[in-house]
Each structure stands twice: as C-alpha cells, then as structure tokens.
Amino acid sequence: MKLVVKDRAGRVHELEAIAGWRAMEVIRDWGLPIKAECGGACACATCHVYVDEKWLGQLVPPTREEQDMLCDQAFEVQENSRLSCQILMSDALDGLEVTLAPESR
C-alpha cells in the first residue's frame, strides 16, 4: 500500500506503507522531515499534516484530544489538518495523500 506525501519543498514522495502503522511512522521511517516528538501519543502536534480533501471522508473522525492538540499546539491549522500519529494505515487508505504542515518555530 502507498502513502503519498508532499514535503515542505513541494516534492511528492510515494512511500510504501504497512497496514496498522500510523501515517506518522511511515513518514518518519522513510526519512522525511517530521518531528513526531511524542512518538504517537497525541501529545505534541509535531506530526501535523494536511489531508487531501478527497480523503477526509475516508478517515476516522478526530478525537477530542486530537482536536485540542491541533488547536493548542499546531501552527497554521486548516479544516483538513490532522495529526498523522492518529491516522492508522489500512487497505481503505491505500494511496492516502497528505502534505507536511509547517514546522513549529
């Protein structure tokens, strides 16, 4: 399965993904610049991504904790903002497209 990631320079990367892995883990393990400081605990917002609009309906809705983290800790939050640590890859998400959000300052 694939995860398609646009980096902050606008380059597109097609990453091999594994079902059950968090999108954050895939992005990090392929060496793209994502901090993911909390390691997937939904406690830092350093794995903030923008999900392509056509995929938003395929994702499990964000939890209250994720929404709070985006509001309190993330920069340049948009309607399609998600924490990539909260997106579990599955066959239904094969081809998911995300863009890395700006890093924290």
Q: Which residues of 54-79 are buried (b: 16+ CB within 10 A; e: fewer)?
A: ebeeebeebeeebeebbeeebeebee
pLDDT attached to residue 104: 54
Query: pLDDT tens digit string along 12-51?
Result: 999 999 999 999 999 999 999 999 899 889 999 999 999 9
CA distances from 11 to 7, 24, 50 (A): 5, 18, 15
Closest CA to 48 of 3, 16, 85: 85
Q: Check pLDDT > 90 for residue 105.
A: no
Q: Which domains are seen in the chain, by residue range?
A: 2-97 (3.10.20.30)
Note the pLDDT of residue 62: 96
Is the per-residue pLDDT at 58 higher than 80? yes
Question: Whole-model pTM?
Answer: 0.94
